[in-house]
Amino acid sequence: MTEKIKIVGSWKLDKVGWKKIGKSFLLTLAAVGIEFVANITGLVDFGSLTPYVTTFIPFAVNFFKKLILPYQTSN
């Protein structure tokens, strides 16, 4: 059975695209929340590196999510 490939044009989003953007946004909020709580509680003090850490943490959380949890890809 062949897999159907759907092409979405430029400057358009389908339901799958919006879903991926929403998941990415929620992941970013969770990562920034973790960083914020760690900074407020005094577990970690990033000091002047806070903007860089805040930018990097969503990537790290997504990386570990993909590394730990199973996921499916299409060929």
| pTM confidence score | 0.61
Whats the size of the chain, residue-wise?
75
Within a domain: residue 4? Answer: no
Within a domain: residue 75? Answer: no
The predicted-structure confidence for 40-64, as pLDDT tens digits, reads as follows 898 888 888 888 887 888 888 778 8
Between CA 53 and CA 63 the distance in angstroms is: 15
pLDDT-derived band of residue 66, with 50, 70 and 90 as boundaries? confident
- The count of structural domains within the chain is 1
> How much is the average pLDDT of 63-69?
82
* Angle subtended at Cα 59 by Cα 54 and Cα 63, rounded to the nearest 5 degrees: 145
Residue 56 structural domain: 15-68
Within a domain: residue 9? Answer: no
Give DSSP secondary structure letters for 5-66: -----TT---HHHHHHHHHHHHHHHHHHHHHHHHHHTTS---GGGHHHHHHHHHHHHHHHHH
Within a domain: residue 7? Answer: no
**Joined tokens for residue 11:** 């400057």
Within a domain: residue 62? Answer: yes
Within a domain: residue 29? Answer: yes
